Amino acid sequence: MFKKLLIPKQIVTVNSKNDILTGHAVEIENGVIKKIAPVKDFENYDGEILRYPDYTLIPGFIQTHIHLCQTLFRGFADDLELLDWLQKRIFPFENSHTKNSLRASVKLGLNDLISGGTTTILDMGTLRNQEIIFEELTASGMRAFAGNCMMDQNELYPSFRESTEWNLKSTYEWAKAFHDSNNGKIKFGFAPRFVLSCSEKLLRDTKAMMKDFPDSVFHTHSSENKLEVETVRRMTGKENVEYFDSIGILDSHTVLAHCIHLNDTEVKTLKKKSARISHCPSSNMKLGSGVADIPKYLKDGISVSLGADGAPCNNGLSAFNEMRLAALIQKPVHGPTAMDSLTVFRLATIEGAKALHIEKAVGSIEIDKKADLVLLDLERADQPLQLDNSSVPTDENQIYSSIVYSASKENVKSVLLDGNFVVNEGNNLLYDEKKILADAKKEFTQLLKTINN
């Protein structure tokens, strides 16, 4: 039977009114939310009934900047500035990936993301063997935009690049093979790495290629680090966003990770072109990159969503960490009222969906949306008290504070992708964690041996 009824303590819908429903049930049929109504409306229900009197139901998190290929390197690239981090660690590591090590990395990353309640990602793949990433995305059931990380120039680490023609040809082939695959759950995210690793021809031709793949996105890094910005200025005579605009890259299907060092003209350009910003606060702090002026971007009406970036610059992949830091990182600069918990929770859910143009399918708990859902147990002695609103007046928005400031993946009890449990009462139904950990260790050991030889 493909029919079930979830009866949680409360439902954080993230709909346009931010309704929080108690005494309600969510009916799921064939992976889609069919009905949300008071429990009494489901008398004599003929499907499976699942009762969670202590749990809070939320939409799955959407992270719009991830590098699954880097999960293997977590903890092996610390305390470095961006360009050194790339040159000394990440480029040699990624360049040495075999199909097996890439697969081990992707599994480790997907396991971490899904068990932490993330159900949709925008992933920047790696230069070679991108089909492995698509195979593992498909096997996991994760909703994803993904694409190979394109690089046709690399002054920092010259062996980690391929020709312009190779990049364009292989990208087109991977897009043809995987765009709109796995019942439409996987879409292509064209991913030239950043200005410093891409020729103008590569960027322009990639953008042009997108017309053959409707609903795909263009995903790159921009304005992350001062030295990067200076180098881009030296190479192109322009700021990142100014350069992207001059070659026709920017529109509502463009997602730029970071956007920390922007001038006023660039901010205006992003707004005018409706380009999206993926904010990665953990990464920005750990790499000492700076603080993106997210309150200003939001005030200006620019689309902002959240991403953990790669595991080696975080060092986790948890949406909870990104939400907490997205709030905290702004407060010393803008004061304590900046980035309230409701605003931040929306960035991690519905705003991520809007960034990718999939807000009709996911990002909130509403009828006809996909049942990508997470059950949280917030009844913990070390976290905010969950009081009964009916017996004492409390701030309804307290739930967002509990989730954003205090919760972590430890609160995640169950995760559903398209209405199917992939984590159930803390049991991981997708991966054998001992096995993927052992495989990852073996593969990374081999990779390090290759680099050292």
Q: Supply the DSSP string of 411-435, one letter for each residue.
A: GEEEEEETTEEEEETTEESS--HHH
β-pairing, 373-377 with 48-59? Answer: antiparallel
Question: Among 309, 311, 312, 292, which Cα is nearest to 300's?
Answer: 292
Instruction: Indicate the residue among 309 and 418 with the shorter CB distance to Zn ion.
Output: 309
CA dihedral 427, 443, 321, 89 (to 10 degrees): 180
| Segment near Zn ion (CB under 5 A); pick from 108-116, 184-192, 305-313, 352-360 | 305-313
DSSP state, residue 403:
I
Piece of 3-11, 307-315, 383-391, 392-400 that binds Zn ion (CB under 5 A): 307-315
Q: What is the SS3 assignment for 238?
A: coil
Q: How far is the CB of 334 from Zn ion (least distance, A)?
A: 25
Torsion angles phi and psi, residue 388, rounded to 5: -85, 110
Give me the least distance between CB of 11 and Zn ion, in Å please: 33
CB-CB contact of 372 with 354 (8 Å): no
Judged by CB, which is closer to Zn ion: 148, or 364?
Answer: 148
Q: Give the shortest CB-258-to-Zn ion separation in angstroms.
A: 8
Minimum CB separation of residue 395 from Zn ion in Å reads 36
Q: Smaller CB distance to Zn ion: residue 197 or 386?
A: 197
Cα–Cα distance, 100 to 440 (Å, whole number): 9
As measured in angstroms, the least distance from the Cβ of 282 to Zn ion is: 11
CB of 24 to Zn ion, least distance (A): 39
Contact flags string 248-287 toward Zn ion, x per CB under 5 A: ----------------------------------------
Using the minimum distance from each CB to Zn ion, give the nearer residue, 308 or 348. Answer: 308
- CB-wise, 239 or 309, nearer to Zn ion? 309
Minimum gap (Å) between residue 2 Cβ and Zn ion: 37
Interface stretch with Zn ion, choices 77-85, 225-233, 302-310, 426-434 (CB under 5 A): 302-310
Q: How many residues bind Zn ion (CB under 5 A)?
A: 1
Among the listed ranges 308-316, 338-346, 352-360, 403-411, the one in contact with Zn ion (CB under 5 A) is 308-316
Buried b (16+ CB within 10 A) or exposed e, 287-307: bebeebbbbebbeeebbbbbb
Q: Which residue is nearest to Zn ion (CB)?
A: 309
Q: How far is the CB of 307 from Zn ion (least distance, A)?
A: 8
Count of positions (residues) in the chain: 453
Out of 27, 309, 322, 372, name the contact with Zn ion by CB under 5 A. Answer: 309
Is the Cβ of residue 94 or residue 309 nearer to Zn ion in the bound state?
309
Q: Which stretch binds Zn ion (CB under 5 A): 81-89, 309-317, 335-343, 385-393?
A: 309-317
Least CB distance to Zn ion at residue 193 (A): 8
State whether residue 54 is helix, strand or coil. Answer: strand
Residues 317-346 that bind Zn ion (CB under 5 A): none
- Closest approach of Zn ion to the CB of residue 306, in Å: 13
Tell me the C-alpha distance between 85 and 90, whole Å.
6
Please name the amino acid found at residue 182: N
CB 273 within 8 A of CB 254: yes
DSSP 146: E
Tokens at 220, concatenated: 């790159």
Phi, psi of 161, rounded to the nearest 5 degrees:
-170, 165
Token code pair at residue 209: 């290629």
Contact 339, 327 (CB under 8 A): yes
Stretch that binds Zn ion, among 27-35, 163-171, 306-314, 377-385 (CB under 5 A): 306-314
Contact range with Zn ion by CB under 5 A, out of 127-135, 244-252, 301-309, 343-351: 301-309
Residue 141 token pair: 């059931």
Choose the binding region for Zn ion from 34-42, 304-312, 408-416, 441-449 (rule: CB under 5 A): 304-312
Task: Report the alpha-carbon distance of residue 61 to residue 124 in Å, rounded.
Answer: 18
Q: Distance between CA 12 and CA 204 in Å, rounded?
A: 42
CA–CA distance, 439 with 170 (Å, rounded to integer): 28
Shortest Å, Cβ 65 to Zn ion: 6
Summarize as ranges the residues that interact with Zn ion (CB under 5 A).
309
